[in-house]
Amino acid sequence: MKLCQQARRYWRYYSIAYKKVKYQGSCDECSVEIDECEVDHRTPIGTQPRDIKDFGKWLVKLFCPASKLQGLCKTCHSAKTKRERKERNAKRGKDNASRSRRARKKTTK
Of the pair 31, 47, the CB lying nearest Zn ion is at 31
The DSSP line for 25-56 is: SB-TTT--B-SSPEEEESS---SPPSSHHHHH
- Asked if 84 is part of the footprint of Zn ion (rule: CB under 5 A), the reply reads no
Selected binder of Zn ion within 11, 17, 26, 29 (CB under 5 A): 29
In this structure, how many other beta carbons lie within 10 angstroms of the beta carbon of residue 11?
A: 14
* Candidate ranges 30-38, 45-53, 54-62, 92-100; the one touching Zn ion (CB under 5 A): 30-38
Q: Is residue 70 within a helix (H) or strand (E), and if so which, with residue range?
A: strand 69-72
Selected binder of Zn ion within 37, 59, 69, 73 (CB under 5 A): 73
Footprint of Zn ion (CB under 5 A): 27, 29-30, 73, 76
